[in-house]
Amino acid sequence: MTLAPPAPPTSIDRLGETTTLAVSYLRVSTKEQAERGGRDEGFSIPAQRDANLRKARDLNAIVVEEFIDAGESARKADRPELMRMIEYVKTHQVAYCIVHKVDRLARNRADDVAIHLALKDAGVILVSATENIDETPSGMLLHGIMSTIAEFYSRNLANEVAKGMTQKAALGGTVGRAPIGYLNVHKRDELGRDVPTVIADPERAALVRWAFEAYATGNYSTSMLHSELVDRGLTSVPTPKRPAKAPGLSTIQQMLSNPYYKGDVIFRGARYDGLHEPLVSAELWYRVQNVLTAHQVSGEKTQTHEHYLKGSVYCGDCGSRLMVTHAKNGKGIVYPYFICAGRHSKRTNCVRQAMPIEHIERQVEDYYRRVQIPEHIVTALRQMLVRQFDDLHTANKAARHTLAAERDKLRDERRSLLHAHHAGAVPLDLLKEEQDRIARRLAFLDAQIDAGQIEYDQAKAHLEDCLALAGDMHTIYMSIDDSLRRICNQAFFERIHVYEIENADTVRAEHGEPFDALLDPNLHAAALAYQASVHAGEDLKPADVASLNIDYWVAHTGLEPVTSPVTGERANRLRQ
């Protein structure tokens, strides 16, 4: 026995004629679809409207209200117009809800059931303009099948889109909208195909470059840089619905830390070499990151610095940060001082008196002179550490040989595969599949083999740079301006502690990486001992030097253990 669908609700007009009422629901998934062709509604929504109106005429119904969700995904049920439609049918006598397809309403089974029940409770029959969906058993069965297919399509499409985006990023493409300073454009390749690409924005790229160069000097905070960029006319890229406007402070902060500007594409945490033109060099980008880090460490991210030592110096008695203050004498002359923040806020029991800033400046300058590595020790350190690098590089040769052997084997396999295909033994689809597999593995092996040598060369170059800095740090510090002194302090030291010893201020620093190792007197002693062993013709590895006792160091280097006057800890001090 076939069940007939329930009779639709009707209304009576002024002439006494009966009219069936309906609502129409239209949806497109993206804003681009809603604006395609330069129209307010794109192409899809008018097509859906025409189909729904034809279906209404077939049902002898009149569409009394239309609900449009433009740029709303069907994977979520809280679409504004959908919610408004459900509320509307609860309070109005409506017979039908007409959709173009079931997937316009929902693309997962749970939401489809919930929406369908809400319409059914309101006495509304769901009708598809292009599918045979109604309240009969066969219509309900088809509805369930179509809803399940829509859910599968939605999930599968999401997976395919994610795979495509990952592949695009791996090939160096830009996923999504390019940041300020770039433009998303479309070009035609040699085959006439439309290819989306990214180019430097002719109006904004120069301002972005200037922003990186200016911030790298250390003379700007992010708020100052933001104000200057706004004054210079930096704006966002206008769209048909959004006019150009000045960027916010957060946009400038994100811009300075975005590796996209040095040519990298970051997608899902992975880094890829981008195809777009870098606006700044890698060296400049890393300088900017150092300035950002220095501002964060000093606790002064966006404020004007009062003194280049502020944020680097700490009270040696209680460990609190030192603050800048100004005192005026009876003649109106202002003197700057450092005071303990712990004592000032009464967070600690510190009794440290105010310290004249010029005294602390001289003590820090003297500390640079005292810890600067003498030239003969730099030579010994270079000799020992380069030997250690070479030993490690040699130890990794076996692994590189294994990778190289696998690479040669894969290249032979690729040639054999191609010969087999030409002989008709391997079909084209299998050839492509195997070639892709071999190509991916070869790319990985090449990267691993090259990376071993590149990392070795870069590490040695970095070591040489650090030794040069540590061997000339006092001269460098005395020759640069205050803004660069701030960066210098943040690079060499974690903290600079100011102690009061015999009524005089003395400083001692916690060294930052890698200078905590390079400035360690124990390492200096080991380097001199290693150098002495080499001159004596002994076959001693650097790793063996660390196990030697103090007597060996004294005998070979003229060192003796002394006690630090500041911390009381034992340390090996070089006697110049």
The overall average pLDDT reported for the chain is 77
Digit-coded pLDDT (tens) for 509-564: 999 888 888 888 888 888 888 888 888 777 666 555 554 444 444 444 444 443 33
Q: Evaluate if residue 174 carries a pLDDT over 50.
A: yes
Q: What is the CA radius of gyration of the chain?
A: 36
Q: Evaluate if residue 113 carries a pLDDT over 60.
A: yes
How many CB atoms are located within 10 Å of the residue 193 CB? 8
* Identity of residue 316: G
Q: Evaluate if residue 495 carries a pLDDT over 50.
A: yes
How far apart are alpha carbons 3 and 112 in whole angstroms? Answer: 23
Sign of the torsion formed by the C-alpha atoms of 346, 347, 352 and 357: negative
Q: Evaluate if residue 380 carries a pLDDT over 80.
A: yes
Q: Evaluate if residue 392 carries a pLDDT over 60.
A: yes
Is-same-fold flag (20-135; 182-282)?
A: no
| pLDDT (average), residues 139-155 | 56
Q: Evaluate if residue 194 carries a pLDDT over 90.
A: no
- Are 242 and 260 in contact, with CB atoms under 8 Å apart? no
CA angle 329, 335, 336 (to 5 degrees): 145
Q: Evaluate if residue 381 carries a pLDDT over 60.
A: yes
pLDDT at site 210: 93
pLDDT at site 572: 37
- Choose among 526, 508, 519: nearest CA to 469: 519
- Choose among 24, 26, 22, 27: nearest CA to 11: 22
Phi and psi of 436, rounded to 5°? -65, -45
Q: Evaluate if residue 318 carries a pLDDT over 90.
A: yes
Q: How far apart are the first and last CA of the chain?
A: 109
Q: Evaluate if residue 256 carries a pLDDT over 80.
A: yes
* Identity of residue 226: H
- DSSP characters over 351-405: -PPPEEHHHHHHHHHHHHHHHSPPHHHHHHHHHHHHHHHHHHHHHTHHHHHHHHH
Q: Evaluate if residue 487 carries a pLDDT over 80.
A: yes
Q: How far is CA 65 from the centre of its chain?
A: 46
Q: Rounded to the nearest 10 degrees, how much is the dihedral formed by the CA atoms of 369, 374, 378, 381?
A: -100
Residue 154 is encoded by which pair of tokens?
A: 């939605």
Q: How far is CA 106 from the centre of its chain?
A: 34
Q: Evaluate if residue 475 carries a pLDDT over 80.
A: yes
Per cent of the chain over pLDDT 90 is: 17
pLDDT at site 36: 46
Q: Evaluate if residue 14 carries a pLDDT over 70.
A: no
Going through 251-321 in order, the beta strands assigned E by DSSP cover: 264-267, 270-273, 313-315
pLDDT at site 428: 80
- Choose among 346, 345, 353: nearest CA to 317: 353
CATH of domain 182-282: 3.90.1750.20
pLDDT winner (highest mean) among 132-136, 154-158, 531-535: 531-535
Q: Evaluate if residue 92 carries a pLDDT over 80.
A: yes
Q: What is each CA distance from 372 to 45, 100, 519, in whole angstroms?
A: 73, 78, 8
pLDDT at site 163: 59
User: Predicted confidence band at 370 (pLDDT cuts at 50, 70, 90)?
Assistant: very high
How far apart are alpha carbons 435 and 440 in whole angstroms? Answer: 9
Task: Give the catalytic positions in this structure.
Answer: 29
Q: Evaluate if residue 344 carries a pLDDT over 80.
A: yes
* Identity of residue 330: G
Residue 348: strand, helix, or coil: coil
With a CB cutoff of 8 Å and minimum separation 6, the contacts of 52 are: 24, 26, 63, 98, 99, 100, 129
CATH 3.40.190.80 fits 20-135, yes or no: no
Instruction: Give the residue extent of every domain in the chain.
Output: 20-135, 182-282, 375-552
pLDDT at site 178: 86
With a CB cutoff of 8 Å and minimum separation 6, the contacts of 15 are: none
pLDDT at site 145: 59
| CA neighbours closer than 13 Å in the CB half-sphere of residue 561 | 10
Q: Evaluate if residue 505 carries a pLDDT over 80.
A: no
Q: How far is CA 281 from the centre of its chain?
A: 17
pLDDT at site 12: 47
